[in-house]
A and B are shown apart, each in its own frame.
Chain A
């Protein structure tokens, strides 16, 4: 059965003077969470802004909740809750002012849920935005995004700059938001722990390209680190799966992807002994991916 897509990007391209987003394909199924991971300047915010209709792609197509963007953004945005790291509320106004403003726009605004979130986040309605800490501001924008009960949540770096306690509160509430089966979340972060914690799908972005995008479990299953002893200074087998290899004396550490049970045998056959096979954390997978992509891009440039 085909699960309807909350977001569908096909070959989107966006050219800036010093940066190019290249042929980005991205699909987010309804009811799932996708985390976009990438270093600063990788293109995460650009992708999310194109998805929100705030930037127009030079080429390619974007559909959000079945609506073509940016042409039908009004219909789409009625069902999207968006938070961006650089998004600010009106400093001179209270939280209540913002709640009233959004309530006047969204028929779906849920007063009861908003009150629950205010209590849960320890926010005071009458407090002015300029008096809020960074964490309280993020929680306020999250409350404003959630209380309108959108089908899709698009969060650009929602946890950046938050202390661990507030970060947990924000992530917990994002998880709670998924109780509604049709609600989807697309969010970006530098923090692979956040991504690992709540995402069903993970997309790695580097240099304006999507390096890899798949199910979280597949990501974690695919990658292994092999610790080897190379007693006879043997050549490593020429496997396409090897993403990284480092040798120190007789000890050798090899990072491989698309791991299966035949790979250790290849090393054994080549005269190396396999001491241990370890799973990688998402952060390690991300760094290996980025290093590999960086190497490939440098190779492209020299060619």
Chain B
């Protein structure tokens, strides 16, 4: 007999959310089609702005809906006592939720990022000097999502989760605009080659650390909860 029911919990969440996931994938494919049709029709930087919006909106919407339905609604709709009556601890419950949400979001984020990078650089729309900045943009979105995911699990509250996502989104946008105008980044954006200077590396490192911190802190705090219902 297996001692952990994490795989069953992940499968259950996938079955509950499969329609949302498939619709988001379909929308992402549709968005990719729209963007490829726009290549050459509109200015490149406009294409980047519209492209990022079109490509990432379904992924972000999917990630947000998953965290709301699987984490917040579990408590608000009172299905949590049913799940917690099963042979599972709070730690395993949290791990299963993180595993499911991160797997789905990460898969879609990697796919959409690959498409974005291909459109930007594979089709030669931008010089490779833009690569560090585009990487920072994509990682920033991933970091914001991870922080939101942690909050949704820790508080399991619609109000707090929405507020947190708005704050993370606004601060991500603000920080990305700030980064775009930072000289060590801005000076190389139109360069022929990517420049991974100390500023770019520091920013990426901080983003990766935020992701790791959000996951570890969520597991740590959840594990210390004595009351979980």
Nearest A residue to B78 via CB reads A88
Quick check: A88 and B227 within 8 Å, CB to CB? no
22 cross-chain CB contacts under 8 A: A52-B84, A52-B85, A54-B229, A55-B227, A56-B227, A70-B89, A70-B226, A74-B89, A77-B85, A77-B88, A78-B87, A80-B85, A82-B85, A86-B78, A86-B81, A88-B77, A88-B78, A89-B79, A89-B82, A90-B79, A97-B15, A141-B82
Shortest Cβ distance from residue A15 to the other chain B in the assembled complex, whole angstroms: 11
Q: Chain A residues near B88: list those with CB within 8 A.
A: 74, 77
- B170 beta carbon closer than 8 Å to chain A: no
Quick check: B89 and A91 within 8 Å, CB to CB? no
Q: Chain A residues near B11: list those with CB within 8 A.
A: 104
Nearest B residue to A107 via CB reads B1
- A87 beta carbon closer than 8 Å to chain B: yes
The 6 closest A-B pairs by CB, nearest first: A56-B226, A82-B85, A88-B78, A87-B81, A77-B87, A54-B229
Quick check: B8 and A88 within 8 Å, CB to CB? no
Nearest A residue to B82 via CB reads A87
Quick check: B15 and A73 within 8 Å, CB to CB? no
Interface size class of B (residues with CB under 8 A): 20 to 34
Interface set of B (CB-CB < 8 Å, partner A): 1, 3, 5, 8, 11-12, 15-16, 77-79, 81-82, 84-89, 226-229
Quick check: B86 and A77 within 8 Å, CB to CB? yes
Interface size class of A (residues with CB under 8 A): 20 to 34
Give the docked Cα–Cα distance between A74 and B85 (Å). 10
Quick check: B229 and A49 within 8 Å, CB to CB? yes
- A84 beta carbon closer than 8 Å to chain B: yes
Give the docked Cα–Cα distance between A204 and B200 (Å). 67
Give the docked Cα–Cα distance between A250 and B89 (Å). 63
Q: Chain A residues near B77: list those with CB within 8 A.
A: 88, 91
Q: Chain B residues near A92: list those with CB within 8 A.
A: 16
Shortest Cβ distance from residue B107 to the other chain A in the assembled complex, whole angstroms: 23
Q: CB within 8 Å of B: which of A87-102?
A: 87-93, 97, 101-102
Q: Chain B residues near A3: list those with CB within 8 A.
A: none
Among B8, B85, B226, B229, the one with the most A-chain Cβ atoms within 10 Å of its Cβ is B85
Quick check: A105 and B5 within 8 Å, CB to CB? yes
Q: Chain B residues near A88: list those with CB within 8 A.
A: 77-79, 81-82
Quick check: A54 and B81 within 8 Å, CB to CB? yes
Q: Chain A residues near B1: list those with CB within 8 A.
A: 107
Per-residue CB proximity of A102-125 to B under 8 Å, as 1/0? Answer: 101101000000000000000000
Quick check: A87 and B12 within 8 Å, CB to CB? no
Shortest Cβ distance from residue B58 to the other chain A in the assembled complex, whole angstroms: 21
Nearest B residue to A73 via CB reads B89
Quick check: A54 and B82 within 8 Å, CB to CB? no
Per-residue CB proximity of A55-79 to B under 8 Å, as 1/0? Answer: 1100000000000001001110110
Among A49, A55, A101, the one with the most B-chain Cβ atoms within 10 Å of its Cβ is A101
Quick check: B226 and A90 within 8 Å, CB to CB? no
Nearest A residue to B88 via CB reads A74
Nearest B residue to A80 via CB reads B85
Shortest Cβ distance from residue B210 to the other chain A in the assembled complex, whole angstroms: 31
Q: Chain B residues near A80: list those with CB within 8 A.
A: 85
Shortest Cβ distance from residue B28 to the other chain A in the assembled complex, whole angstroms: 24
Q: Chain B residues near A70: list those with CB within 8 A.
A: 89, 226
Give the docked Cα–Cα distance between A49 and B80 (Å). 13
Given contacts A77-B85, A82-B85, A101-B8, contact A55 B229 (CB under 8 A): yes
Q: Chain B residues near A101: list those with CB within 8 A.
A: 8, 12
Give the docked Cα–Cα distance between A174 and B8 (Å). 28
Nearest B residue to A52 via CB reads B85
Quick check: A105 and B8 within 8 Å, CB to CB? yes
Give the docked Cα–Cα distance between A265 and B133 (Å). 97
Shortest Cβ distance from residue B36 to the other chain A in the assembled complex, whole angstroms: 35
Known A54-B81, A82-B85; 18 more pairs at CB < 8 Å: A54-B84, A54-B85, A54-B228, A55-B227, A55-B229, A70-B89, A70-B226, A73-B87, A74-B3, A74-B89, A87-B78, A87-B81, A88-B79, A89-B79, A93-B16, A105-B86, A107-B1, A141-B82
Give the docked Cα–Cα distance between A92 and B18 (Å). 12
Shortest Cβ distance from residue A112 to the other chain B in the assembled complex, whole angstroms: 20
Nearest B residue to A101 via CB reads B12
Nearest B residue to A76 via CB reads B87
Give the docked Cα–Cα distance between A97 and B16 (Å). 10
Shortest Cβ distance from residue B114 to the other chain A in the assembled complex, whole angstroms: 33
Q: Chain B residues near A55: list those with CB within 8 A.
A: 226-229
Nearest A residue to B4 via CB reads A74
Shortest Cβ distance from residue A153 to the other chain B in the assembled complex, whole angstroms: 11
